[in-house]
């Protein structure tokens, strides 16, 4: 098992006097000394204390808005113990590298003292040195769920209110991650996952049932609550499905034993059935991340075998998305996209392009400088005339992320007479039609967004346009994302109420709907429209719905970006700059259009059908203008919000199929999210 140090958070404490006089009792107010603490974050920007695993298996811990610490003061004179709870972390820096909090020093603590801090756990009782460790089981086994259970501590010894020492957090426990890969040809379901020592003879964890007690001043257990079994996943509801060729990861915070005994084995139990292969027990240390990779093959569950050096895959039919992932044992080894290649100012190609993967700062991403054109699908000129693909398969393309364009001389059409249907991936990541001896078949799956918000599930295909990845359908949710706990977006809003917001210059978050077919709009109940129409057109949103709060004139930040609380995880409403970059690449917005009639057929505009060569598939969702009814569709009647305020108060930037413009916050338009 691979072990990686998680983190060490550094804190600098600065003494200060505060003239405020908070009350410690109902009888009198006294001047309270305080310490102001500045928390130095890890080098990666972040705005929340959360667990995030990268491609190399490292886990970082970062601050979350509203996190709190519990503190214990121990006076040198007389040994008085006082606790202060729920000290909030505030003032998180824009880069997410620093946060700060202020500690009131209890009046009973005089002279010099020792200060102890605990994150993720509470004290046994008021003015106690004993910490109660939490029950760390998260039903879903998710890393996000485990982040609220990680327990860290720090100590600043022999200080007073004038001291300025530096201290650092350390871990009380560790993280274990179990990766389950489905290498069979059928989806696998799982409801429970546990690890236990052989015969229960070896207690390899502390805090086994969430009843351990730790003296924070001596860092010793008052009650160990030792155990031999660790439950990673225990679902009360429906089982979790592991799709073919993919992996799911489950996590658990735990406290490793300080009394390691060599020579023992660990058993993995999946749905209460023991895996045939046992795992040698190793000595574990607090503050490390332990990872166990398992694979379901036709022979059953076992340790994941080493990754082969070369692969091959069959080019998909793109029936479910414009982008597909190529996976082996749950690890992505390539990407293949049906996309638009802007070769010159006069001719443009539609092609299928495969890309190898590259480690980009610890995250596996497609190497867009090494595109391999497996098939030319069509050529299009600036008049919108679509021509045959001709004999041009097997070319190459190289993109520049900074400019979101193909590099100069970065696209070469091929010379092959037949499309390439099987692609081989070499040990060096090279792509070729030529067979590589010993290569193994990889699984090709659609790259889609599955957005689950309570009882609502939406699935969005993905389209690649230059170096940007976009939803290939309009946003279609009636709920905010997890940032706002999946609250409902207001929808049943009357015209009078809408007008009232406008009159008061309060710009409210509202969801509205485009038409069923092309001629219906329910003003008062946005989500009452048919599922088929919502799937086709999506939902229209006021600008304020992106953030989820009423925007007042005092909060206008001209040309500034607002916080996005509506996009699926890993996605975001585009900025003006990102929309401009899209617009610049396609050059002619008809390449974004997919205007269909009520029967689902392409509409003939000015004697020509829409190209939609980009695959963006913009629909005639039109917009709602303030308190007025839905505007009927027409040419260029697709409108997409950015998350950027306008240069004029009460306005924001949006893209229609002509150019970028400003419009009122209360106009309701479509949203297309872009991958972060």
What's the rounded mean pLDDT across residues 659-669?
A: 85
Q: Which residue has the higher pLDDT, 415 or 517?
A: 415
What's the rounded mean pLDDT across residues 578-594?
A: 79
Q: Which residue has the higher pLDDT, 25 or 482?
A: 482
pLDDT at 449: 96
Region of poorest pLDDT, from 4-13, 226-235, 383-392, 479-488: 4-13
pLDDT at 535: 77
Binned at pLDDT 50, 70 and 90, residue 571 comes out as: very high
The answer on pLDDT for 464 being more than 50 is: yes
**Considering only CA atoms, which of 237, 231, 230 is closest in space to residue 189?**
237
pLDDT at 378: 83
pLDDT at 144: 72
What's the rounded mean pLDDT across residues 132-146?
A: 77
25/320 Cα distance (integer angstroms): 65
pLDDT digit string, tens, across residues 85-124 = 988 877 655 544 456 667 788 989 989 999 998 888 999 9
DSSP 476-509: --SB--GGGTTPBPP----HHHHHHHHHTT-B--
- 174-303: which CATH architecture? Sandwich (2.60)
Distances from the Cα of 272 to the Cα of 241, 302, 444, angstroms: 17, 15, 31
260: its two tokens:
């390691």
What's the rounded mean pLDDT across residues 544-560?
A: 78
Most confident of 167-171, 173-177, 434-438, 608-612: 434-438
Q: Which residue has the higher pLDDT, 88 or 164?
A: 88
Q: Tokens 């491609």, residue?
A: 55
- Burial (CB < 10 A; 0-12, 13-18, 19+), residue 470, is buried
pLDDT digit string, tens, across residues 298-343 = 889 998 877 788 999 999 999 999 999 999 988 899 999 999 998 7
pLDDT at 375: 95
pLDDT at 555: 65
* Close Cβ partners of 378 (under 8 Å, ≥ 6 residues apart): 349, 350, 386, 387, 388, 389, 613
3-state SS assignment for residue 535 = helix
What's the rounded mean pLDDT across residues 164-188?
A: 85
Backbone angles phi, psi at 500, to 5 degrees: -60, -40
What secondary structure letter does DSSP report for 301?
A: E
pLDDT digit string, tens, across residues 41-84 = 333 322 223 344 555 455 555 556 677 889 999 999 989 999 99
Binned at pLDDT 50, 70 and 90, residue 296 comes out as: very high
522/528 Cα distance (integer angstroms): 8
pLDDT at 590: 61
pLDDT at 64: 65
311/328 Cα distance (integer angstroms): 8
The answer on pLDDT for 414 being more than 70 is: yes
pLDDT at 515: 36
pLDDT digit string, tens, across residues 207-251 = 988 899 999 999 999 999 999 999 998 888 889 999 988 889 898
Does the CA dihedral 604-606-612-613 come out positive or negative?
Answer: positive
* Close Cβ partners of 312 (under 8 Å, ≥ 6 residues apart): 422, 423, 424, 425, 435, 436, 439, 440, 441, 442
Contact 9, 168 (CB under 8 A): yes
Q: Which residue has the higher pLDDT, 552 or 348?
A: 348
Region of poorest pLDDT, from 161-175, 200-214, 602-616: 602-616
The answer on pLDDT for 13 being more than 70 is: no
Region of poorest pLDDT, from 7-16, 404-413, 465-474: 7-16
The answer on pLDDT for 524 being more than 50 is: no
Helix (H) or strand (E) segment spanning residue 359: strand 347-360
Contact 516, 533 (CB under 8 A): yes
Beta strands in 361-513 (DSSP E): 363-366, 371-381, 386-387, 396-400, 405-412, 422-425, 431-432, 440-441, 443-446, 448-453, 456-465, 468-471, 511-513
pLDDT at 369: 97
Binned at pLDDT 50, 70 and 90, residue 494 comes out as: low
The answer on pLDDT for 423 being more than 60 is: yes
pLDDT at 141: 73
Buried b (16+ CB within 10 A) or exposed e, 594-620: bbbeeeeeebeeeeeebbbbbbbbbbb
Binned at pLDDT 50, 70 and 90, residue 621 comes out as: confident
Domain ranges (residues) in the chain: 2-171, 174-303, 311-446, 452-675
Q: Which residue has the higher pLDDT, 410 or 554?
A: 410
- Burial (CB < 10 A; 0-12, 13-18, 19+), residue 32, is middle
Contact 474, 518 (CB under 8 A): no
What average pLDDT does the structure give for the chain? 79
What's the rounded mean pLDDT across residues 32-47?
A: 46
**Considering only CA atoms, which of 325, 322, 321, 271 is closest in space to residue 296?**
271
Helical residues (DSSP H) of 218-274, grouped into ranges: none
Spell out the long-range contacts of 517-522 with Cβ–Cβ below 8 A and sequence spacing 24 or more: 517/598, 518/597, 518/598, 518/620, 518/632, 518/633, 519/598, 519/632, 521/624, 521/629, 521/630
The answer on pLDDT for 20 being more than 50 is: no
Region of poorest pLDDT, from 29-43, 101-115, 600-614: 29-43
pLDDT at 610: 57
pLDDT digit string, tens, across residues 627-658 = 555 665 555 578 899 999 999 888 899 998 77
The answer on pLDDT for 521 being more than 60 is: no
pLDDT at 526: 43
pLDDT at 617: 86
Q: Which residue(s) pair with 98 in the sheet?
A: 40
């Amino acid at each position: 098992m691979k072990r990686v140090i998680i983190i060490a958070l550094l804190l600098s404490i600065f003494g200060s006097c505060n003239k405020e006089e908070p009350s410690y009792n109902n009888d009198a107010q006294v001047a309270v000394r305080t310490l102001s603490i500045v928390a130095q974050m890890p080098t990666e920007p972040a705005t929340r204390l959360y667990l995030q695993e990268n491609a190399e298996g490292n886990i970082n811990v970062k601050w979350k808005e509203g996190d709190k610490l519990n503190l214990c003061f121990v006076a040198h004179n007389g040994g008085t113990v006082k606790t202060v709870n729920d000290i909030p972390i505030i003032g998180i820096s824009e880069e997410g590298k620093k946060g700060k909090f202020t500690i009131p020093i209890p009046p009973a603590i005089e002279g010099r003292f020792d200060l102890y801090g605990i994150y993720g756990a509470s004290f046994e009782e008021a003015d106690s040195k004993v910490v109660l460790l939490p029950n760390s089981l998260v039903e879903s086994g998710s890393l996000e769920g485990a982040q609220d259970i990680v327990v860290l501590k720090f100590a600043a010894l022999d200080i007073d209110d004038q001291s300025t020492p530096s201290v650092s957090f350390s871990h009380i426990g560790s993280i274990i991650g179990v990766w389950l890969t489905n290498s069979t040809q059928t989806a696998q379901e799982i409801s429970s996952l546990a690890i236990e020592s052989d015969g229960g003879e070896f207690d390899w964890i502390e805090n086994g049932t969430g009843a351990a007690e730790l003296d924070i001043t001596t860092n010793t257990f008052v009650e160990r609550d030792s155990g031999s079994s660790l439950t990673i996943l225990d679902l009360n509801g429906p089982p979790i499905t592991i799709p073919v060729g993919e992996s799911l990861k489950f996590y658990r915070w735990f406290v490793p034993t300080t009394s390691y005994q060599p020579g023992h084995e660990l058993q993995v139990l999946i749905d209460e059935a023991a895996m045939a292969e046992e795992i040698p027990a190793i000595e574990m240390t607090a503050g490390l991340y332990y990872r166990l990779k398992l694979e379901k093959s036709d022979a059953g569950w076992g340790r994941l075998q080493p990754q082969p050096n070369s692969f091959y895959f069959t080019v998909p039919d793109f029936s479910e998305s414009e982008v597909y992932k190529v996976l082996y044992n749950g690890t992505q080894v390539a990407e293949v996209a049906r996309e638009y290649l802007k070769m010159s100012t006069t001719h443009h190609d539609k092609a299928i392009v495969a890309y190898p993967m590259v480690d980009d700062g610890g995250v596996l991403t497609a190497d867009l400088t090494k595109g391999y054109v497996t098939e030319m699908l069509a050529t299009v000129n600036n008049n919108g005339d679509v021509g045959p693909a001709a004999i041009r398969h097997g070319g190459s393309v190289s993109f520049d992320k900074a400019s979101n364009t193909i590099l100069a001389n970065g696209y070469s059409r091929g010379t092959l007479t037949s499309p390439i249907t099987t692609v081989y991936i070499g040990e060096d990541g090279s792509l070729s039609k030529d067979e590589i001896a010993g290569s193994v078949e990889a699984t090709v799956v659609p790259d889609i967004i599955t957005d689950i918000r309570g009882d609502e599930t939406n699935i969005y295909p993905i389209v690649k346009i230059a170096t940007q990845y976009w939803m290939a359908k309009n946003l279609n949710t009636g709920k905010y994302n997890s940032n706002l706990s999946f609250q409902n977006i207001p929808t049943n809003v009357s015209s009078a109420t809408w007008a009232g917001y406008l009159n008061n210059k309060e710009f409210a978050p509202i969801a509205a709907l485009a038409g069923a077919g092309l001629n219906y709009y329910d003003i008062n109940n946005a989500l009452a429209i048919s599922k088929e129409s919502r799937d086709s057109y999506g939902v229209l949103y006021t600008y304020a719905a992106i953030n989820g709060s009423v925007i007042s004139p005092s909060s206008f930040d001209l040309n500034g970006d607002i916080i996005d609380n509506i996009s699926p995880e890993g996605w975001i409403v585009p900025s003006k700059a990102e929309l401009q970059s899209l617009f610049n690449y396609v050059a002619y917005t008809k390449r974004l259009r997919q205007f269909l009639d009520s029967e689902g057929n392409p509409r003939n505009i000015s004697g020509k059908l829409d190209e939609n060569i980009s695959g963006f598939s913009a629909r005639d969702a039109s917009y709602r203008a303030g308190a007025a009814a839905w505007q009927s569709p027409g040419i260029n009647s697709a409108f997409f919000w950015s998350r950027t305020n306008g240069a004029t108060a009460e306005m924001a930037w949006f893209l229609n199929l002509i150019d970028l413009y400003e419009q009122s916050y209360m106009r309701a338009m479509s949203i297309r999210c872009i991958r972060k």
